[in-house]
Amino acid sequence: MSKPAILTVDDDPMVSAAISRDLRNRYGDDYLVVGARSGAQALAVLTKLALRNQPVALIASDQRMPGMTGVEMLEQARTQAPGAKYLLLTAYADTDVAIKAINDIGLDHYLLKPWDPPEERLYPIVDDLLDDWRQANPDHTSDVRVVGHRWSDRSYDIKTFLARNHVPYRWYDIERDAEGQRLRALADATVAELPLVLIPEGDTLRSPTTLDLAAALGLRTKAEQPLYDVCIVGGGPAGLAAAVYAASEGLSTVIVEREGPGGQAGQSAAIENYLGFPKGLTGADLTQRAVAQVARFGAEMVLARAAVGFETRGPVHAVVVDGSGEIEARALVLATGVSYRRLEAAGLDELTGRGVYYGATASDASLCQDDDVYVVGAANSAGQAALNLARYAKRVVLVARAATLENTMSRYLIDRIAAAPNIEVRCRSEVVACRGDGHLEALTLANRDSGASEEVESSWLFIFVGASPRTEWLGPDIARDDKGFVVTGQDLLIGQDHTPRWPLARPPFALETSVPGVFAAGDVRLDSMKRVASAVGEGAMSVYLVHRYLATI
């Protein structure tokens, strides 16, 4: 947490140095003492502190200054430092002005100059003012703040990135929150510059890319070594498990993750069938625990970087990373998981990120307070999202193309959905159109049997349909099926065209791909179970196979 600030304002260099010195001697351990030499400079300092979310506890200002008096400056300071205590330093001749300022601007105290000795004339007054300020501001934190429009796709992307990387933040909607309007005015930001990301003790970011945001937060965005024993592409459960086992067994290890660790599982509001957690746990909790283990054993994690190419160079495999060159490793584990398939519906693409979302984080639920929400999907991820959203929404409608949920969703989720009074399930239905001006306002549902359709009003549509692997960057050397899932192990010996796709005399290891030394684990692999527990198991197993492979080269 940043130290609260005490701002001193006086145009006389000797007086300015004296008041700053006396306050720093007494309060410097707990407060940041900052000096300004004019009212305009003081307001500029206050604006900078406000954008950094650094609280201002006290402003001690001289009254007689050229250009702007102390009272005039303090009156304007309320915008940048609401709640700060005001102390006016004045001569005897200005006591009437000071007394009037108590009523006019809420002046807390005035002090006649000089204040020597400070132990008798300065510190007792400041002590009382700071005590009052601390009692009124007990819970100040220096979280990242995001200022934007709730229907902005960029704002949603920024919030999702922060949530997935476990960075605490506070969200301010410029239409609903006075504080958001104040911060936007302080930053003098245009609509095109939103969202603003205000980082404590850092510069204000204006509509940043996730890479810029990661760098500003101090997250690692580049690999540190020229060559690793194993490079893991993807930071979901499979990739994190592989990193824990590889690093703990002495292999130099790096994970490349284009968004944030956790994958789809990391966005889950509740994982209730994972071994060892009888009450369940959130995807964020599971991810945070795994990331801590990864860090403990010394594996590197490179964030906000997408793998865009792959090459084999003799005994070394190279992953080409967007914007930062390449990472070389002796073995490679593909754990890129899957993303939700795009839904085909008229008008939907234009509204994606503006009321239409693929997947959902646990924090999305609170945004839907007292609204009607629609969820498309019939698997566990859709069921978990519907239950989480129902905690806040007035009504949640789960839209499924199938005639029943039994074949695709776990029984415990089906039972909980049936027991929820504000969740409605519409089977044999689909979303065929969306409309809205700037954000989703209504969608059209069609019955797959009768063909009948109806338009319903809603500002929220969350989509959980199917799975598409992220493997287009691998090129032709890595064998994949017609949907892009990576072929491994014994399936390589006879391909779909009945020709072998394995180049060596030895048989492939169980999770090995068509390129020796490259393994696949988790949802990206053909015929994987698509469950968190199996992904973790495959991630751990891949490291055992990496050891066997490294012993052969």
**Domain ranges across the chain:** 5-136, 144-216, 227-339+468-550, 348-463
Q: What confidence tens digit (pLDDT) does each residue in 256-308 have?
A: 999 999 988 888 888 888 888 877 888 888 999 999 999 999 999 999 999 99
Q: Which fold has domain 348-463?
A: FAD/NAD(P)-binding domain (3.50.50)
Predicted confidence at residue 141, as pLDDT, reads 59
**Residue 1 clears pLDDT 60, i.e. is over it:** no
Domain 227-339+468-550 has CATH 1.10.3720.10: no
**Residue 88 clears pLDDT 90, i.e. is over it:** yes
The mean per-residue pLDDT over the stretch 215-233 comes to 95
Specify the DSSP class assigned to residue 31: S
User: What's the CA gap between 336 and 486, in Å, rounded?
Assistant: 11
The mean per-residue pLDDT over the stretch 77-82 comes to 90
Predicted confidence at residue 54, as pLDDT, reads 87
Question: Which H or E element spans position 374?
Answer: strand 372-376
Candidate from 71-80, 150-159, 465-474, 496-505 with smallest mean pLDDT: 496-505
Predicted confidence at residue 126, as pLDDT, reads 95
The mean per-residue pLDDT over the stretch 355-378 comes to 92
Predicted confidence at residue 94, as pLDDT, reads 85
Confidence of residue 498 (pLDDT cuts 50, 70, 90): low
**Residue 333 clears pLDDT 80, i.e. is over it:** yes
Domain 5-136 has CATH 3.10.20.30: no
**Taking the model in full, what pTM does it have?**
0.79
The mean per-residue pLDDT over the stretch 447-465 comes to 96
Confidence of residue 152 (pLDDT cuts 50, 70, 90): very high
Predicted confidence at residue 140, as pLDDT, reads 53
Confidence of residue 520 (pLDDT cuts 50, 70, 90): very high
**Residue 25 clears pLDDT 60, i.e. is over it:** yes
DSSP strand E in 144-299: where? 144-148, 169-173, 196-198, 204-206, 227-233, 253-257
Confidence of residue 496 (pLDDT cuts 50, 70, 90): low
The mean per-residue pLDDT over the stretch 83-94 comes to 91
* Residue, of 142 and 371, whose pLDDT is higher: 371
Predicted confidence at residue 466, as pLDDT, reads 80
Predicted confidence at residue 139, as pLDDT, reads 60
Percent of the chain with pLDDT over 90: 79
Q: Do the beta carbons of residue 69 and residue 57 sit within 8 Å?
A: no
Kindly give the pairing relationship between strand 442-447 and strand 453-457. Answer: antiparallel
Confidence of residue 166 (pLDDT cuts 50, 70, 90): confident
Predicted confidence at residue 265, as pLDDT, reads 87
Predicted confidence at residue 362, as pLDDT, reads 78
Closest CA to 364 of 139, 155, 209, 195: 155
DSSP string, 113-157: SP--SHHHHTHHHHHHHHHHHHHH-TT----EEEEE-TT-HHHHH
Compute the CA torsion angle 472, 473, 477, 480 (nearest 10 deg).
-30
518: β partners = 332
- Judge whether 5-136 and 144-216 match in fold: no
**Residue 142 clears pLDDT 80, i.e. is over it:** no
CB burial string 65-77: b at 16+ within 10 A, e below: beebbbbbbbbeb
The mean per-residue pLDDT over the stretch 33-52 comes to 94
Contacts of 232 (CB under 8 A, 6+ apart): 239, 242, 243, 246, 253, 254, 255, 256, 332, 333, 335
Q: 144-216 architecture in CATH? A: 3-Layer(aba) Sandwich (3.40)
Predicted confidence at residue 273, as pLDDT, reads 84
Amino acid at 489: G
Q: What is the mean pLDDT of the chain?
A: 92
Kindly give the pairing relationship between strand 372-376 and strand 169-173. Answer: unpaired
Predicted confidence at residue 523, as pLDDT, reads 95
User: What's the CA gap between 108 and 88, in Å, rounded?
Assistant: 8
Amino acid at 345: A
What is the C-alpha R_g of the chain?
A: 29
Out of 76-80, 217-221, 316-320, the most confident range is 316-320
Percent of the chain with pLDDT over 70: 98
* 114 cis-preceded (ω within 30 degrees of 0): yes
DSSP strand E in 269-355: where? 300-303, 307-313, 316-321, 326-334, 338-339
Query: What three-state secondary structure class fits 496?
Result: coil
Structure-token pair, residue 521? 């684990």
Confidence of residue 168 (pLDDT cuts 50, 70, 90): confident
